[in-house]
A and B are shown apart, each in its own frame.
Chain A
Amino acid sequence: MDTPSATPASRTFNVPATATSAEGAQTLIEIDNFDFYYGAKQALFDINIRIADKRVTAFIGPSGCGKSTLLRCLNRMNDLIDGTSVKRGSVKIRSIDINGRDVDSIELRKRVGMVFQKSNPFPKSIYENIIYGLRIQGVKSKSRLDEVVEKSLRGAALWDEVKDRLHESGLGLSGGQQQRLCIARTIAVEPEVILMDEPCSALDPIATAKVEELIHELKKQYTIIIVTHSMQQAARCSDQTAFFYMGKLIEFGETRDIFMNPKNPQTEAYVSGRFG
C-alpha cells in the first residue's frame, strides 16, 4: 500500500475507483458530476473522481485548469471567495455531502486540513503556531498541548531542528522549515485528509525533498491530495494522479499508468512536456 505504483494491479485498472478498491483501499472522497462557478464563469465541468483513503493523489495540469479550485472545494475554502457557487453535483467524504445543509464548514475544515502554496505561519511563536487549532477548540491543558506540539513537530520532521526554540517566532525559520511548520500545524488537529496546494513551489530542491519524504511518511496516517506543477514531483510521491485541462478532468488513474501509459493524447502531451 505504501508504494502502490509497484503493485501489479495498478497496470490493469480501467475505472480508478474500482482499481483502488481492488487493492483493498477504501474510497474516501467521491466527487460526482461536479460543476463549480466563480460568479458567472464556470471553473469546473462535470468532475467525477474517486479518491482513495490513505493514499497520495496528485492533481496535475497547466495553470488555470481548475486543479486548485477543486482542491479548495474539498474543504470549502472557496466559501471565503465572494460569488462562488456549486451549481451541480456533489462532493462526498465518507458518504456525507460536504455542501449539504447541515454541514458546518468549520467542522469540515477540522477534518480536512490544508497546506498552502506559500508557507504562511502566523506571526506567533512556533509553539503557538502548532497549538492554534487546539486553542480555538478550547484545549487548555498544558501537558496535552506540549504533547501535541512534540508529536506534530516530530510528525513533520521538524522537532530536532526547532525543539530548542519553540517560543521564537515562526517567521524566523527558513522557507522549507516554515512549510513543514505549516504541515505540523495542520496535523496537530488530526485531520483525516490533508490538502496540499503546490506545497513545494516556493522551496529549494533540498527543502522540496524533505517535504516529499514527509509526504511518504504522512500517508500512513492521512489521505493526501497534492496539487503540483512539477511532473517529477507527482511521479515521485503520488499513488494516483488526475490530469485536468480547462476545468475538466481528462484522465485519472494510477500514477504509473498516467506517466508510462496515458490513455488520452492530451495527457500524454502534457506529461511528456509538449504543452502546459
Chain B
Amino acid sequence: MPPDINTAADTGEPSSKFAIQKKRTRLFGLTLDETIRVFFGGNALVAVIVLALITFFLFREGSQFFGQNRDSLRTYRLAGLEYVDIIRQQEEDHTALTRYLFDIRLKAVVQLTEQGIDAAEINRRLAAFDAFSERYSDTIVPIRGLVFELTEVATDIKTRYNENEDYKVARKNFLAAGMKAEADEITIKDLDFAKEIVAITGTVSAYEQINNEYADALKASVTVLPTLPVASLQPRLERFRELTREYLATFPGRLATLKAWDNNAPVKWTEAFTQFIFGTRWLTASFWQDWYGIIPLFVGSLMISCIALFIAVPLGVGAAIYVNQIASPMEQRLIKPAIEFISAIPSVVLGFFGIAVLGQALRALSQWEALSWVPGFPYSERLNALTAGCLLALIAVPTIFTLAEDAINNVPRAFKEASFALGASRMQTIVRIIVPASLSGIVSAVLLGLGRVMGETMVVLLCAGNRIAIPDFTAGFTAFLQPVHTMTGIIAQEMGEVVRGGIHYRALFVVGLVLFFIALLLNFLAQKIVRKYRISIG
C-alpha cells in the first residue's frame, strides 16, 4: 500500500486530494437525508394533529350537552313535571312497602310448603294476612288517582311548550330561507307558565286533604297486625310497621316541599353537571322526562371490568411468569403465540361465542345442584355482567400477559442468578425476587389491561344484557349476575338512532369524553409507574 500512495502523490493524481466534497441529488432543494427526515417528521406530526382534532371535536360536541341538559331541566321544572314527580315518589315508596309485604308472603309460603302443607291450606292460613295486605295497598288509590290526573296536565303543558319551540325553530328557518309567507303562517302562542302551572299547583289543598285521609288510613291499617302462620316471620312484620311509620314521618316534609315549590326557581349550572355525573337514571325517549345520568352505565362498565380483571390478572400474570421463568423453550414457542393470538380474534366473534356458548354454559353450570351454595346460583339471565366479564377477561389476558412478560423479562438476570447461588429454589426466586422486582411493570400491565377492557364495546354490547339500571347490591355478589349496560355499549347502541345535535346525541358524546378521560388516566398512571420502576432497578 505505501508505495501506491507515493506513486499517486508523485504523479499528482486526483486521488491524492483531500476529497471530502461530493455533489448530492436534491429534491425540492432538500438532500435525501433531509427528505427522509421531513417524511417521518411529517407522519409524526399528522398523528399528533389527528389526536388533537379528535380531542377537540369530542369536547366541542360534548360541551354543549350541559347547556341543553340545563334547558331540559328548566322545562321539567317550568311545566310542573318536577312537582308531579314529588308526589309520584310518595306513590313509589308505597309500592316498595307493599313489595315488602309480598316478600314476607313468599317466604311464608316457602316455609309452609317445606312443612308439607298443600296450597289450599296455605292460602287459608294466610287469609288474614292477605286481607291485611290488600287493605294496605288500597290506601294509596286516591293518591294514585291524583298523580294520574296531574301527569296528564303536566304532559299537556310540556307538549304544547315543545310544539311551540318547534314552531319557533321552523319559523326561523323559513325566515332564514327568505320564505316570508310560510313563516307568517306559523302562529306562535307563547306559553305563560305562571298561568298554566296553576292547574297543577292549585291542587295542593286537594292533595293535602287526600294525603291526610291516606295517612289516617295507613295508620289505621297497621295498628293491628295479622298473626302469621310462621312465627319466625312475625318480627319482619313488626319491622314492616316500623318502616310504614318512618314512611309516614316523611309526609309533613313532602307537603312543605310542595307548598314551597316554585316553577320559576332557576336551574343552576351545577345541576346540569351533577344530574349527569351523579344521576342514577339513564332514561331516554321517554314521554315524561329524559334523564342522562351516567352512574348506571359507569357502574356496569366497572363491574364488568372488575370481573374481567379478577379472572385475567391471575391468568395473564401467571402465564407470564410461567412462560418467562419455568417453561421450556418448546413450551414458550407454543404458549406465547397462542395467547397473543387471542387478541387477533375479532371481538364480535367473541361476543357471538358469548351469546351462543358461554352464556348458556354458565347458566347451565349455575343450575348444577352441587354449586347451589354459590350466592346467586341458579340464575336465569343468560346475558349478564358475569358472561361479559368472562369474555372480556379473554380480551385482557393477551395485553396483561405480553406486558407483564416484558416486565419480568426486564428483571436483570443477575438477580435470578444471585438468588439461585444463595440456595433459593425456583419458586422462592420467583416469589421473592422476580415478582417484587417486576411488580410495577406488572401493575402497569394490569392498568393497561383495564384500559383495554373499559374501552371494549362489541362484547359488552352483545353479552352484558343491556339493562340500564344499577344492579341491586343489597344481595351482595348476585349483583354480578344481573344484566347491565356499559358506557361503550350505550354509545354503540344509541348513536345510530339519535337526532344529530340533539341532547341525547350530545349526552352520548359526553359519555365518550368520560371514556376518553378514563383511558387517559389509566395510560398516564401506567407510564408513571413504569418510569418509577426503571429508576428503582437502576
Contacts and interface: CB of A to CB of B under 8 A. Distances in A.
A109 B423 contact: yes
Contact of B415 (A122, A133, A186): A122
Interface stretch (A110-118, A143-151, A217-225): A110-118
Size range of the chain A interface in the assembly: 20 to 34
A40 interface: no
Contact of A136 (B329, B423, B436, B537): B423
Contacts of A70: none
A206 to B, nearest CB: 22
A137 B423 contact: yes
A106 B425 contact: yes
A107 B414 contact: no
A110 B436 CA distance: 23
Interface stretch (A19-27, A58-66, A74-82, A228-236): A74-82
Contacts of A185: 418, 422
Given A77-B420, A186-B422, 20 more contacts: A80-B417, A82-B329, A109-B423, A113-B422, A116-B417, A118-B414, A120-B415, A120-B418, A122-B418, A122-B419, A123-B436, A123-B437, A123-B538, A132-B419, A132-B424, A135-B432, A137-B423, A182-B418, A186-B421, A189-B423
A100 to B, nearest CB: 18
Contacts of A31: none
A103 to B, nearest CB: 13
21 contacts: A77-B417, A77-B421, A109-B422, A109-B423, A110-B423, A114-B417, A116-B417, A120-B415, A121-B418, A122-B415, A122-B419, A123-B415, A123-B436, A123-B437, A123-B536, A123-B537, A133-B422, A135-B432, A136-B422, A186-B422, A189-B422
Interface string A90-128: 000000000000000011011001101010111110000
A36 to B, nearest CB: 18
A86 interface: no
A134 to B, nearest CB: 9
A114 B417 CA distance: 9
B392 to A, nearest CB: 34
Interface of B: 328-329, 412, 414-425, 428, 432-433, 436-437, 536-538
The residue among A109, A110, A113, A186 with the most chain B CB atoms within 10 A of its own CB is A109
A28 interface: no
Contact of A132 (B329, B412, B425, B432): B432
Contacts of B415: 120, 122-123
Contacts of A214: none
Contacts of A137: 423
Nearest to B433: A122
Contacts of A162: none
For the complex of A and B, list the 8 residue pairs with the smallest distance between their C-beta atoms, beginning with the closest.
A110-B423, A120-B414, A114-B421, A133-B422, A109-B423, A136-B428, A120-B418, A136-B424
